[in-house]
Chains A and B, each alone.
Chain A
């Protein structure tokens, strides 16, 4: 099966400044790739390179098997792109705009109407169908932006910061939509919000100063994020001495009278033993949960490692 994206040793310079340095990755159908980075890390440049808005200084990019530079029209046929600022004509109504997008993407005139209607439904835009885009709220405009990226049912969807400026409910809806799209398309999603990657991506890449510093799938990511610590909270004050008999436990930190932080040996989660012991001792457990390294911590750690 041909990969949707194959990027090989891609460099991009703006004058002497290197925005993207030796970027190589691939993406297959069914993957939702989260592209993470701080502002100015090279996310948008990468997206623009993938969509043929910019040409790489060296290296090559294949979209669905076609080179984006030498066969741009064939490559772009399997591409849907939402830039960081949604490209909307404010003087048009939502359905007029989507119709124009459908025409630009080679949808035959007869199927345009059906394509517009289905995408309106999919993005929850049916109610604002006849409104001018200029009159829509930011959230709805963002949805129109997503609608224009998926109207021609492209194999590959590239979304550059799709959830910027949206409220939490709208963000939730977009995550649901992205997950849905990820089932039968390849999706790339750039963001600087780690929770977003956690919510909707199968793979994650972190880019910093134009270089990829992490490439993982979600299972690998979960391992990295494991801190080998448990948090224990009880109703009444607890004596840490109760747990010292369990050999898997490395260290116990008292956070307050009712809360402990327990560090354990890797590959030996002591949760069942702890519960057994505490119940036998008649302690009421309120909470016993693994502490995960937050994506934020991981992110900061990686960036620190790389800038040293």
Chain B
């Protein structure tokens, strides 16, 4: 499978530059800070929780806000991570290597996408490790943690797919970052406008990334939400492949 060879190479080269390392370090620091804030919160409300029936558990108080915030932070960072994935290769003329090798456009796009996704998986598993550490001294709802991890992985997977598409489209990496950031932000805040009216537009509501993400976060794995993310990723990868084919014909 040629895509895997490209993915492996992509993942390896990310770690050859300081980019991946500094990203991992800085993100882990920020997430740890957020995590500690949530623990602090829990400690504060813990005495009152004892008197409430069906009180939210430790997991409920710590995990969803942590993963929710992580989603927003990664929304800011993903475009930077994906901006150079195709665009930079084209600018440094290394893209000819892939174009003249016996590869299809699908191999190239899927390979690049998987390479970036591997790094994002490393980041999300770094986040999951922190709540998991609570299992040493307390009880953790593992099912809910896994759901949150899945939700975040699908979310950043969607971010990366948009990023790869913008990088294929744009002539300059910074432009690619701006494009993908604006698009993602738009999708994120889409349901704000519907919240203002009494009856929001159902279609716009449905398209918003945030609703499907939050549905999964509650621990409810709904096939519609899974389908939304998988379709989202698949369509942006398909668009990138078409875009690459088209550029070969026109340029």
A contacts, CB < 8 Å to B: 14, 51-55, 72-74, 76-77, 79, 81, 83, 85, 87-89, 91-92, 100-101, 103-106, 148
- B5 within 8 Å of A by Cβ? yes
B residues near A55, Cβ cutoff 8 Å: 248-249
- B100 within 8 Å of A by Cβ? yes
- A17 CB → nearest B CB, Å: 13
Distance, CA A91 to CA B97, complexed state (A): 15
Q: Is the pair B16, A81 in contact by a Cβ cutoff of 8 Å?
A: no
Which residues 89-104 of B have a CB within 8 angstroms of A? 93-104
Distance, CA A300 to CA B249, complexed state (A): 34
| A57 to B, closest residue via Cβ | B249
A87-B95, A89-B13, A105-B102 known; 19 new pairs, CB 8 Å cut-off, are A51-B100, A52-B99, A53-B100, A72-B102, A73-B102, A76-B100, A76-B101, A87-B93, A87-B94, A87-B96, A89-B94, A91-B13, A91-B16, A101-B97, A101-B101, A104-B98, A104-B103, A105-B101, A148-B97
Distance, CA A79 to CA B102, complexed state (A): 9
- B71 CB → nearest A CB, Å: 31
Distance, CA A83 to CA B94, complexed state (A): 9
Number of interface residues of B (CB under 8 A): 22
Partner of A104, one of B13, B101, B104: B101
Distance, CA A51 to CA B99, complexed state (A): 8
A residues near B104, Cβ cutoff 8 Å: 72-73
A residues near B222, Cβ cutoff 8 Å: none
5 A-B pairs whose Cβ atoms sit less than 8 Å apart in the complex: A53-B99, A85-B93, A87-B95, A88-B94, A91-B17
| B105 to A, closest residue via Cβ | A72
B residues near A14, Cβ cutoff 8 Å: 251
- A129 CB → nearest B CB, Å: 17
Distance, CA A92 to CA B97, complexed state (A): 15
Q: 8 smallest A-B Cβ distances: which pairs? A: A87-B97, A81-B100, A85-B93, A76-B102, A87-B94, A91-B16, A83-B96, A104-B101
- B242 within 8 Å of A by Cβ? no
Partner of B102, one of A54, A77, A91, A100: A77
Distance, CA A55 to CA B251, complexed state (A): 9
B residues near A76, Cβ cutoff 8 Å: 100-103
Partner of B2, one of A72, A81, A104: A104
- B134 CB → nearest A CB, Å: 39
